[in-house]
Structure formats: structure tokens, C-alpha cells
Structure 1
């Protein structure tokens, strides 16, 4: 076989950047205009300086970082298949972990001072729970990410005002037969939750919002049946993210209980295949946009398409942060 007839070698690109759920989410929120403060722990190693400088360049406050003189900062290799767009992650956790004793009371109070929202990614459960208890005393709303079943996550969700779940978590956690039933189970289990969202990748998202006032005369309906009726109203011809919602309904679940609220079905942007580069961090970008939307008092009908649009922008570049849009991005103009 001659050299001319050999198939072309695959293109390889390497991007070295900060990561982690909370780091990515904070970066997204900062680029959208918020001023996030990040509590985390790194080792005093070669990676620390680059990690912190990158966050600070995006406007994330790192003054509450704990720097250990020993151990190692966490590191993850993310291998993206150019053809299938699938990912393989090889994770080396940081050591030593963040523990409650790392945070002095004065540091914790300073971190929470003036905060409009606190976000938890479900890691370091003992430390997270300590922060959540302090935030609850100050009546600061909390958003908890439920990516997968983790130690201490149920205790953290007891304090949550809002929750954003991966597609698999609510089904695995509740054993429910479908996503809307699982979301209803979560609202029944955690009465402080105002809404819970399940992100569904290219299938968009689903959100169940509890109605605080009204709904006394609302129709009673099985939550799965309501979802099916909403899906029939979806316009799949649109490439941009959209959202449809129910009226306030008394949602039931197999005689287990009733929640009065609204169900939302959101679509994802239809990204042309040549533009889809890497879905790493798409869920983090979605949550970062939800945090911004909540702080901006954006209604759910606008929040869900906005978050989907932000997540889609991030999928058009390699790495979790490269493609995260700024607030001035023209693709977001219709939402702001």
C-alpha cells in the first residue's frame, strides 16, 4: 500500500483546563454575570496555581479555597471520541478531602455573607451539610445537584430549595417507573423543594414545580398521563430550545400522595452534527444558567430554554469551559 492510499490519521487535540462540577458551574454563572464564591480544597502542587488563576480570570472568587501543604489536587483525563462523541473519564480524586474542620466559623460566615443562593454538587457531604445548616439559619435558598446516589445526599436534599438531577438519578433513587413519577416522589419526600429538574441530554429536560398558593380547585391528574399530554404539544420542528407547561394541577402518584403544581417539558437545541464537539460539562452549564435565572427571577418558561441554550453553546467546543458563553453572547439575547 502506498503512502498516498493510507487513510488519514484521526485529529487529536488536547485541552488542559480546570474542571469539576462546581468549578464548571461557577465559571458558567460568572460568565453570565453572577459573582460566585467557591469553597473547595486543593493541594499546594503544580496544578493549584493554574486552577485558581483560571477561575479568577473568569470572575470566580477563590479566596475561600483551602490549600493543603500535602497531598494532590484532583485530576481527570477526559477522552472524547471524535466519531461517536462519547466520553471516557479517568479520575484521580484530590487528597486530603475537604472536611468540616477545614472551615473556620468566621470563614464560613464570610463566604455566606450577602449570598443570594448556595449551590452544592453533592460531594464532601459532611462539609456540605455544615454549610447547608448555616445557610438555612440565614434563610439563603439552596440548589442541590443530584447527579447520582452519594453518601449524605438525602440529608443535603432535606435542606434544598431546588434540585437538578441527572436523567438516571430520580429513577434510581425512587424506583419509579418513569421520570415524572420520580420527580413527584422527590417533591413528596422533600417538602422544602420548590422544584426539581431532570436533565435528559438531547431529549431536553423535565421540571416539576410545587405551587405554594392556589390550586384548591385544580383538576386531579396522574403525573405520567399529564406528561404524555404535554409531549403531544411539543413542536419538534424547532431547532432552538422551547418549553411547554401544564396548568396548576393536583398531581397524584399511585395513591402515595398528591402535590399541587405544574409540569414543564423543555427541549434541547438541535445542534447540527458538524457543530457538536464535546458534551463534557453540559449539565454543569445548564445548572450555571439555572442559578443565573433564579437570581434574575426568570420564570420557568424562559429559564429552561435559556439553560438549554447555554448548555448547547458549551457543546460546540472541546472541554467543559471553552464554549461557555458570556452574557453578551448574541445567542442569549432573546432571553435577557
Structure 2
């Protein structure tokens, strides 16, 4: 049952395990060609990483997130050379590089999360190694972004998370969120969550090492557009979603995010109606698409009745199909899509905690993601709970 959210959900604790790092964002007039020399039109250093971004989103919405990840408090000389080399590609000035060499990036990662209300007391902190970082080129003309990611080294291992810390982190948690990174540690977290009957949401951004083991334990999956077909080898996204529900019997719903084209969600129905008609999933998706009214200024959701959805060569599952539209952002207001998927997931985590119905959840997540896209970086545009754009969902 859904309920209005004029007050915070009763259980607001979300535990996330995954990436938290630093983003170096440079905006350019147009993406450079090989051997081009161009200047950035704006530049920003900001916290990044899927888990760090999504949990920051939940914190601003009023939840109490706890993050499990790893940072390093000192920047090694090798890392400084690495930073210099890649940032030179972004044509930043030499003076800035010397400033970066003296920074303690790990402290900044922790500080930014703490300022937003993310509990970092379960982070593994080391004085040897390098924190994760990403170089991001934002093309002002196409509104696209290109990311060059360097993982933290050495990566987090299960030994970096004492059992006492894990148990404390999970104490009172409403849901666990895993972004698919740090897979060995994430698997330990997931197994303990299963023991404690804490539901798990997986961010399936792309095929990753260890993801198959994690996704088998999930209750909810949110996928990037290409993941369902890459993971299942199905010919269409809708067939792939049916395949995922059949392969993963514990999954309650799976969502494929499609950027400006919104999202598709398939929700499992536990109580199967024997009289329900069997429908080909691709045809049902096509019929729902035709019901769109063409206006996406306000996100909308179109859903099918509970039915037996059939994917040829794959199988049939009793489920309900949803199409969520994205919010239309005028070109003059669309700044950067970096982290839009993380914002969407952060909103879905909130919606689960608040017991939103699927239609409300998808519209809410689209609104939060659109707000993020109006500012440079993954976190600058994340809305707070009291933001007027969220008023209709919070009453």
C-alpha cells in the first residue's frame, strides 16, 4: 500500500557499498578531435562515484545513508604524475597541477559526503594508495559527457571491513544499495543483508566482474540502457527484462533507464491470475508507447494490467509493464547529464523507503534526475527535500 510522504518514512537508513571518488569536470564548446588543442569553458572539482552520488541524493531527500567504501588520505607522487598527464588533455593550466599535487583528495571525498549528511564512519581509510578519480569532458553542443575513470588502488577487500563494522552499518537498515563495484566486499555485505532480511537494490550499469554473484541476491535491479540485452543476449530490451525476471526469481522489479527516452519497468506479480491473457511483451510495449500524449514537461507513467508476458524463445512471466517518461528540459537549461542515473537510483531508494506506488516512484525519479541535469557535475543539481519541484511528491 502507498502512503503520502508529508513526513519522512519511518525507517530512513540506507546502506550503500561502492564507488566514492573525485570528478574533474571540464566543459568544452565541442568535443575535441584527435590532436586538437582547445580550452575549457568551465571547470569544477566535485565528489563522484556511483555510490557516493546516489547516497548524497538520498541524504538530500531526507534519508540517513551510510557508505561502505575506501579512500586514501595522501596523494602519491605516481598519482600526481598521472593526474598531470590526463588533465593536460583537458588543457588545464600548469599552476593548477602543482596545487593538485598537494591536495589530500581522500579527505575531500569524506568531507563532501559528511557535509551532505552521509555517514562515512564505515569507510576504510588508508594512507597508502590512490583514491578513485574520473576525468569528465562535457560537450556543450551535444550535451553529452565522456568519462575516463581510474579506480582506487589497491581496491577495497573484505578484510578492510571488520565484521563488527558491517554489523553496525546494517543495524536498522531499511535497504542495501550496491553499485556493482568493490564486488568482493559488496558480496560480503549482500550475504549479511540476506541473513538479516534486508532488501538489496543493485545498480547494473554494465557487465562487471562479480556482478553475476551480486545480482542473484538482489530484490530490485536498476539497469543502464544497454545492460539488459548485454546480460541476457535478448534481441530487445523488453524481452531482456522478461528474461531477467525468469533468471532471477527473487527480483521484485527491474528498471531499464533510457536517458531522455525515460525508462521501462517490469514488476513481478506474485499472485498469478489463471485467467490472465498471455501477451507478447514487444507488442505490449509498442501499445503502451502509442498511449504517450507527447508532452513530457511533467514526467508521466503508463502501465499495463497484470498479464502473462511472453518473450519468444525465452519464456513467460506474470508481471506488469510500465513506461516512465523523462522530464523535458529546455536546451538552455540542460547543462550536464553526469550522474543522472545515480540521481534516479537515489530517488528510487527513497521511493522504496516511502512505499511509493510504481507510477509515483518513476515520476519522482525522473523529476529528481532532471533537476540534477541543470548543473555541472553529479551532485550540484541534486534537489533537497524542500525543493519546490518535489512538492507534489512530498505531500
Q: TM class by shorter-chain length?
A: over 0.9
* Corresponding residue for residue 212 of structure 2: 154
* Aligned equivalent of 2:241, options 183, 198, 215: 183
The equivalent of 1:3 in structure 2 is none
- Structure 1 residue 203 displacement after superposition: 0.3
Aligned to 1:5: none
Among 38, 50, 67, the residue aligned to 1:21:
50
1:78 and 2:142 correspond: no
Describe the superposition over 1:215-242 as per-residue Cα deviations: whole angstroms up to 9, x where unpaired. Answer: 2321111111110111111111241110
CA distance in 2 between partners of 1:11 and 1:146 (Å): 32
Mapping for residues 109-258 of structure 1, pairs under 5 Å: 109-258=167-316
Q: Per-residue deviation at 1:11?
A: 6.6
Structure 2: where are the runs of 5+ without partners?
Answer: 1-37, 75-103
**Contact 2:205-2:227 at 8 Å conserved across structures:** yes
Give the SS at the match of 1:14. strand
Runs of 4+ more than 4 Å apart: none
TM-score normalised by structure 1 residue count: 0.96
Specify which structure has the higher proportion of strand: 2
C-alpha displacement at 1:255, in angstroms? 4.7
Preserved contact between residue 221 and residue 250 of structure 1 (Cα < 8 Å): yes
Instruction: Decide whether aligned partners of structure 1 residues 255 and 84 sit closer, same or farther in structure 2, where only a CA change above 3 A counts.
Output: closer
Compute the displacement of 1:10 (Å): 7.2
Structure-2 separation of matches of 1:108 and 1:197: 28
Is 1:287 matched with 2:339?
no
For 2:11, the equivalent position in structure 1 comes to none
- Deviations for 1:283-318, whole angstroms, at most 9, x for unmatched residues? 000000000000000000100011000000000000
1:243-322 equivalent positions in 2, closer than 5 A = 243-322=301-380
How big is the shift at 1:214? Answer: 4.0
Provide the rounded CA distance (Å) in 1 between the counterparts of 2:180 and 2:150: 18
Farther off after superposition, 131-140 or 88-97: 88-97
Gaps of 5+ in 1: 1-8
Equivalent residues in 2 for 1:17-96, closer than 5 Å: 17-45=46-74, 46-96=104-154
Between the aligned partners of 2:296 and 2:45, the Cα distance in structure 1 is 35
Contact 2:344–2:365 (Cα < 8 Å) also in 1 = yes
Using CA pairs below 8 Å that are at least 6 residues apart, which structure has the higher relative contact order?
2
